[in-house]
């Protein structure tokens, strides 16, 4: 009797699993139809004088017991090297428009201690300044993206900072740099003229800022071969008027910035929690994050109209998740945990940036260490890599790649209440090495998705890579358990040019298709 019941149960399980399992999603990748260049700058970082983003996260000082090189944490630099970071935006953020660069040069003991008025009202020792930032840049082999102070500075102050960094002349400023220990000029790749000038950067109207941009940019002079690309401070969320105004002015603009943060609730007073969140907030966060695609598209439509030659890029130089502060922490420090949900969010954003790579020339996630959607969290001498770190590391193969088209026959969806989002995000590109890479994201918090992929124009001999997932919707790494969420190897089944892939629920995979 018991055996009969067991047999019936087994049969029910067998059939129900078969009936309930969704059919594979049919996907075609046209590897022989190269599209836009995916700039490595899409994988940029942002480090602001905010909370423990710089102090303790990157800078511990030369006398610290925490291992460091010239005051910069060795463990953090070693981990960041693996991300091949293309650029770091510094010193803010909102901090940039309150920062006066002369406070951060010269002997440390003579540097003024200021108040970081915007972030927590804490003391800003200026121990980390221009020289220390370029030390970090050179340790990581990355590009410098300086955010200049337009809001509370002057054209003269901004102009002189650039001269201090880049002049090889006998000027007093170049001499001061040499006296402070740096003989050669530094290379400055990008220069932001203010930050969020619609808000913390000065509460301006776009037309007023446009005139100021022209004024400041006039004086941003540097030697030939070391002239930074100039970035105008643009809009955010659904706004397009900043792009509209800035792309019409006769000015030398290489990029217009755009900022978008994803909140689970969409409400800045009660954003939602980084961990222990309900399933609904998995879906609502990703739904809010996906809105960036329409915002990017709308801004690009304006650029296409006003700049048909494609000279001006859209620089998404702040993006990522933003949650409520954990209780007991300084709300001005923006420290938050980072889960597999953040990893999925990051990968979905990458795939959107790839899709609009013709105009999205740069993005910078907010922020690199200990702030918002960070790559790394630190606590004294301890350090952990977040799920977002792993997603960045897995996607390094997309830096300076060439996009190829992907067609999804029928998009599976995930719902919660009124919200319905696509369950799948895919992008494909030929890497610098000529190999084909796929980024495959399953946004479904509970269900795996199987894929039947056909690769056109490419001899497939195998497909392998890594998958990142977690046991729970808020799986994350802690200092006691730092590898709870870590990439695992994955080998897909192939036959001819067909590939069968099973994506676990809530996962990000990057595969290399072998020839
Ligand atoms: O990244 C945190 C803050 O968010 C930045 O300082 C500011 O530019 C934005 O509002």
Tell me which residue of 383, 239, 228 sits closest to 298, measured CA to CA. 239
Determine how β-strand 507-514 pairs with β-strand 436-442: antiparallel
CA of 94 to the centre of ligand 1 (A): 6
Would you say the CB of residue 288 lies under 6 angstroms from ligand 1? no
Asked whether the beta carbons of 460 and 515 are under 8 A apart, the reply is yes
How confident is the model at residue 326, as a pLDDT? 85
Report which protein residue has its CA nearest ligand 1's atom 2.
93
Asked whether the beta carbons of 232 and 256 are under 8 A apart, the reply is yes
Q: Model confidence over 10-35: pLDDT tens digits? A: 333 333 333 456 899 999 999 999 99
Last residue of a domain, one of 398, 413, 437: 398
Tell me which residue of 86, 360, 93 sits closest to 243, measured CA to CA. 360
Would you say the CB of residue 318 lies under 6 angstroms from ligand 1? yes
Tell me which residue of 294, 180, 298, 200 sits closest to 243, measured CA to CA. 298
What is the maximum alpha-carbon separation in the chain?
97
Would you say the CB of residue 92 lies under 6 angstroms from ligand 1? yes
| 473 and 386 together in one domain | no
Report which protein residue has its CA nearest ligand 1's atom 9.
93
Q: Model confidence over 48-64: pLDDT tens digits? A: 999 999 999 999 999 99
Pocket-testing residue among 96, 196, 199, ligand 1, by greatest number of atoms within 8 A of Cβ: 196
Domains contained in the chain, number: 2
Among all residues, which ones are annotated catalytic? 196, 318
CA of 71 to the centre of ligand 1 (A): 25
Tell me which residue of 59, 30, 67 sits closest to 131, measured CA to CA. 59
CA of 151 to the centre of ligand 1 (A): 14
Report which protein residue has its CA nearest ligand 1's atom 5.
93
CA of 93 to the centre of ligand 1 (A): 5
Determine how β-strand 190-193 pairs with β-strand 229-232: parallel
- Provide, rounded to the nearest whole percent, the portion of the chain with pLDDT above 70: 96
Would you say the CB of residue 163 lies under 6 angstroms from ligand 1? no
Pocket-testing residue among 89, 200, 322, ligand 1, by greatest number of atoms within 8 A of Cβ: 200
Of all atoms in ligand 1, which is nearest to the CA of residue 119? 6
CA dihedral sign, ordered 325, 353, 46, 260: negative
The strand pairing partners of 179, in sequence order, are none
Average pLDDT over residues 167-187: 98
Band the pLDDT of 130: cuts 50, 70, 90. Answer: very high
Average pLDDT score, the chain: 95
Asked whether the beta carbons of 375 and 386 are under 8 A apart, the reply is yes
CA of 200 to the centre of ligand 1 (A): 8
Of all atoms in ligand 1, which is nearest to the CA of residue 366? 1
Average pLDDT over residues 204-218: 98
> Higher-confidence residue: 196 or 326?
196
Name the residue range of residue 478's domain.
4-36+404-514
Would you say the CB of residue 143 lies under 6 angstroms from ligand 1? no
CA distances 365 to 259, 290, 389, 464, Å, are 10, 15, 11, 27
Last residue of a domain, one of 398, 427, 447: 398
> Is the pLDDT reported for residue 226 higher than 70?
yes
> Is the pLDDT reported for residue 245 higher than 70?
yes
For helices 279-306 and 340-355, give the axis angle rounded to 10 degrees: 20
Would you say the CB of residue 244 lies under 6 angstroms from ligand 1? no
- Domain of residue 475, CATH code: 2.60.40.1180
Asked whether the beta carbons of 73 and 26 are under 8 A apart, the reply is no
How far the first Cα of the chain sits from its last, in Å, is 55
Would you say the CB of residue 363 lies under 6 angstroms from ligand 1? no
| 344 and 291 together in one domain | yes
Tell me which residue of 245, 195, 187, 236 sits closest to 216, measured CA to CA. 195
CA distances 385 to 245, 373, 402, Å, are 41, 12, 28
DSSP state letters, 235-283: -BTT--HHHHHHTTSSS--SEEEEEEEE-SSS-TTS---SSS--HHHHH
Would you say the CB of residue 317 lies under 6 angstroms from ligand 1? no
Structure tokens at 288: 């809010």
| 369 and 411 together in one domain | no
Would you say the CB of residue 444 lies under 6 angstroms from ligand 1? no
| 335 and 456 together in one domain | no
| 274 and 186 together in one domain | yes
Would you say the CB of residue 257 lies under 6 angstroms from ligand 1? no
CA of 308 to the centre of ligand 1 (A): 31
Q: Model confidence over 431-455: pLDDT tens digits? A: 999 999 999 999 999 999 999 999 9
| 227 and 353 together in one domain | yes
| 371 and 492 together in one domain | no
Would you say the CB of residue 94 lies under 6 angstroms from ligand 1? yes
Interior/surface letters 473-495, b for 16+ CB within 10 angstroms, e for the rest:
bbbbbeeeeeebbebeebebebe
Q: Which residues contact 82 (CB under 8 A, 6 or more apart)?
A: 393, 396
Determine how β-strand 424-430 pairs with β-strand 401-404: antiparallel
Average pLDDT over residues 194-208: 98
Report which protein residue has its CA nearest ligand 1's atom 4.
93
Q: Model confidence over 66-103: pLDDT tens digits? A: 999 999 999 999 999 999 999 999 999 999 999 999 99
Of all atoms in ligand 1, which is nearest to the CA of residue 201? 8
> Is the pLDDT reported for residue 118 higher than 60?
yes
How confident is the model at residue 185, as a pLDDT? 98
Pocket-testing residue among 51, 54, 92, ligand 1, by greatest number of atoms within 8 A of Cβ: 92
Report which protein residue has its CA nearest ligand 1's atom 1.
366
| 359 and 498 together in one domain | no
| 143 and 202 together in one domain | yes
Q: Which residues contact 133 (CB under 8 A, 6 or more apart)?
A: 88, 90, 91, 144
Give the C-alpha separation, 49 to 102, whole Å: 16
Would you say the CB of residue 320 lies under 6 angstroms from ligand 1? no
Report which protein residue has its CA nearest ligand 1's atom 7.
93
Region for residue 84 given its phi and psi (left: phi exceeds 0; alpha: psi -120 to 50; beta: otherwise)? left
Would you say the CB of residue 366 lies under 6 angstroms from ligand 1? yes
| 376 and 424 together in one domain | no
The strand pairing partners of 68, in sequence order, are 73
> Is the pLDDT reported for residue 257 higher than 70?
yes
How confident is the model at residue 4, as a pLDDT? 42
Band the pLDDT of 196: cuts 50, 70, 90. Answer: very high
Q: Model confidence over 490-505: pLDDT tens digits? A: 999 999 999 999 999 9
| 137 and 17 together in one domain | no
How confident is the model at residue 31, as a pLDDT? 97
CA of 495 to the centre of ligand 1 (A): 48
The strand pairing partners of 442, in sequence order, are 424, 507
Would you say the CB of residue 195 lies under 6 angstroms from ligand 1? yes
Report which protein residue has its CA nearest ligand 1's atom 6.
93
| 427 and 492 together in one domain | yes
Last residue of a domain, one of 355, 377, 398: 398
> Is the pLDDT reported for residue 410 higher than 70?
yes
- Domain of residue 205, CATH code: 3.20.20.80
CA of 299 to the centre of ligand 1 (A): 20
> Is the pLDDT reported for residue 383 higher than 60?
yes
Of all atoms in ligand 1, which is nearest to the CA of residue 92? 6
How confident is the model at residue 11, as a pLDDT? 34
């Amino acid at each position: 009797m018991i055996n009969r019941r067991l047999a019936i149960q087994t049969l029910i399980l067998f059939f129900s699993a078969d009936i309930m399992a969704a059919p594979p999603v049919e996907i075609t990748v046209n590897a022989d139809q190269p599209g836009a260049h995916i700039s490595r700058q899409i994988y940029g970082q942002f480090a602001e004088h905010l909370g423990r983003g710089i102090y303790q996260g990157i800078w511990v000082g030369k006398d610290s017991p925490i291992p460091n090189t010239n005051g910069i944490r060795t463990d953090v630099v070693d981990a960041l090297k693996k991300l091949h970071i293309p650029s770091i935006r510094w010193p803010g953020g909102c901090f940039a428009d309150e920062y006066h660069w002369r406070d951060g040069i010269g002997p440390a003991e003579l540097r003024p201690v200021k108040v970081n008025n915007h972030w927590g009202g804490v003391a800003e020792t200026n121990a980390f300044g221009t020289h220390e930032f370029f030390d970090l840049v050179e340790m990581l082999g990355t590009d410098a993206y300086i955010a200049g102070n337009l809001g509370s500075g002057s054209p003269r102050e901004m102009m002189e900072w650039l001269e201090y960094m880049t002049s090889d002349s006998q000027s007093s400023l170049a001499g001061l740099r040499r006296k402070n220990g740096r003989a050669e000029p530094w290379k400055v790749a990008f220069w932001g003229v203010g930050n969020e000038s619609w808000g913390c950067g000065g509460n301006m109207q776009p037309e007023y800022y446009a005139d100021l941009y022209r004024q400041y940019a006039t004086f941003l002079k540097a030697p030939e071969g070391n002239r930074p690309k100039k970035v105008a401070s643009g809009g955010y969320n659904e706004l397009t008027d900043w792009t509209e105004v800035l792309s019409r002015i006769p000015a030398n603009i290489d990029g217009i910035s755009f900022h978008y943060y994803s909140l689970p609730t969409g409400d800045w007073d009660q954003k939602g929690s980084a961990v222990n969140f309900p399933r609904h907030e998995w879906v609502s966060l990703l739904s809010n994050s996906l809105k960036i695609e329409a915002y990017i598209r709308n801004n690009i439509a304006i650029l296409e109209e006003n700049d048909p030659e494609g000279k001006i890029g859209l620089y998404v130089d702040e993006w990522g998740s933003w949650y409520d502060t954990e209780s007991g922490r300084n709300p001005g420090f923006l420290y938050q945990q980072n889960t597999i949900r953040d990893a999925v969010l990051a990968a979905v954003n990458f795939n959107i940036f790839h899709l609009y790579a013709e105009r999205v020339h740069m993005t910078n996630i907010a922020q690199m260490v200990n702030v918002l959607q960070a790559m790394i969290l630190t606590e004294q001498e301890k350090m952990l890599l977040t799920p977002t770190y792993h997603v960045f590391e897995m996607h390094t193969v997309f830096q300076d790649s060439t996009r190829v088209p992907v067609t999804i026959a029928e998009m599976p969806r995930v719902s919660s209440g009124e919200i319905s989002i696509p369950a799948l995000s895919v992008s494909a590109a030929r890497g610098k090495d000529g190999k084909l890479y796929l980024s495959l994201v399953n946004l479904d918090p509970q269900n795996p998705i199987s894929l039947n992929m056909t690769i056109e124009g490419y001899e497939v001999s195998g497909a392998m890579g890594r998958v990142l997932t977690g046991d729970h919707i808020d799986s994350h790494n802690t200092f006691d358990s730092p590898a709870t969420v870590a990439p695992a190897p994955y080998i897909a089944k192939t036959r001819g040019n067909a590939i069968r892939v099973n994506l676990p629920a809530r996962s990000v995979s990057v595969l290399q298709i072998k020839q």
